[in-house]
Copies of this chain bind each other. A is one copy, B any other.
Amino acid sequence: MPTASPALVIGSIGIDRVATPFAEADNLLGGAASYAAIAASYFAPTRLVGVVGADFPSAFLRRYRKHGLDLAGLQIDPHGKTFAWSGKYREHFEGRDTLEIQLNVFQNFSPVLPAAYRDSPYVMLGAIQPSLQHHVLDQLPRGRRRPFVLADTFDLWIHTTKPDLLRLLQRIDLFVINEDESLLLTGERNLVLAGRHLRQLGPRIVVIKKGAHGSLLFHPNGYFSMSAYPVTKFVDPTGAGDSYAGALIGCLAAANRTDFASLKRAVAYATAVSSLTVESFSVNRLSTAGRATIDRRYRELVAMTQL
């Protein structure tokens, strides 16, 4: 898509080991930035910012390149090991437990944007700690040339660095958060009230992800509710939310618009993309599905939700 604006994705990159109630796998390409950047790449030229160690498999780099990712912002630390995460999903996928985290090179990660990235008009800040998200924003233009910024978060930051997170909300355009976290952060008991509350905290647009129950969009011009794609071959939810957010920023970059209609379309595409992610471990299904499969799921979603 030569006319699309570029999207910048920043976040964690890791090597995962995942156990579900039905299967397990290790040495998986993981991390929010991996899922998000590959998802975004289906829609717009995508720039990746992150850090890996000397052990990062060349197959994973090839996977990035297959999607045409711009890797000028990928730091490779020759003296360190890649961030590693191991998690296990509970029965019925009701929550998951982290079994092991090795921060490794991620411990001292300070994201530096290559000069050529600073004009990125669409930016996704993955769910890294809010101080790092602020650090990225500090490197981007302000005023008229400021980019459209999407940020994601997760419950750890709500518990440990809430003031930083609240300050971040005043600097971004689109906040993506999951159901439970939206209630935790706002203290509301109801997702509709939580969405409205979050908009009052700063971001013009809010998306609440409800997993298998779809997602809700709160935009200045209205409210939109999107059903989930009916997945029947559910394998592993890891990265679903990250690929959702990545598809969102990619779609908006491709359209170069953030009006209500464009956001609704982006939410439907993000739903289609994340439905692929959960059908395999790691980015495998997401990466091999191809744009035609995504477009077909988008059309199916339209058919199954339109009167």
B268 to A307, Cβ gap below 8 A?
Answer: yes
Contacts of A213 in B (CB 8 A): 210, 213-214
Total contacting residues, chain A, CB less than 8 A: 32
Nearest residue in B to A261 (C-beta to C-beta)? B307
In the complex, what distance in Å separates the CA atom of A306 from the CA atom of B304? 11
A230 to B234, Cβ gap below 8 A?
Answer: no
Q: Does A231 make an interface contact (CB < 8 A)?
A: yes
Contacts of A264 in B (CB 8 A): 307
B222 to A303, Cβ gap below 8 A?
Answer: yes
In the complex, what distance in Å separates the CA atom of A171 from the CA atom of B304? 27
In the complex, what distance in Å separates the CA atom of A210 from the CA atom of B214? 12
Given contacts A210-B213, A227-B214, contact A307 B303 (CB under 8 A): no
In the complex, what distance in Å separates the CA atom of A39 from the CA atom of B234? 37
A231 to B306, Cβ gap below 8 A?
Answer: no
Nearest residue in B to A212 (C-beta to C-beta)? B191
Q: Which residues from 217 to 260 on chain A have a C-beta closer than 8 Å to any C-beta of chain B?
A: 222-228, 230-232, 234
In the complex, what distance in Å separates the CA atom of A6 from the CA atom of B279? 46
Q: Does A189 make an interface contact (CB < 8 A)?
A: yes
In the complex, what distance in Å separates the CA atom of A190 from the CA atom of B228? 13
Q: Does A72 make an interface contact (CB < 8 A)?
A: no
Nearest residue in B to A210 (C-beta to C-beta)? B213
Q: Does A4 make an interface contact (CB < 8 A)?
A: no
In the complex, what distance in Å separates the CA atom of A234 from the CA atom of B190? 9
Q: Does A134 make an interface contact (CB < 8 A)?
A: no
Contacts of A305 in B (CB 8 A): 224-227, 305-306
A232 to B268, Cβ gap below 8 A?
Answer: no
Q: Does A265 make an interface contact (CB < 8 A)?
A: yes
The winner among A191, A230, A232 for most chain B CB atoms within 10 A is A230
Query: What are 13 of the A-B contact pairs (CB < 8 Å)?
Result: A92-B189, A190-B231, A192-B232, A193-B232, A224-B305, A225-B227, A225-B230, A225-B304, A261-B307, A265-B307, A302-B307, A305-B306, A306-B306
Given A190-B231, A216-B230, output 8 extra A-B contacts at Cβ < 8 Å.
Answer: A192-B232, A193-B232, A222-B304, A223-B304, A225-B228, A264-B307, A268-B307, A306-B307
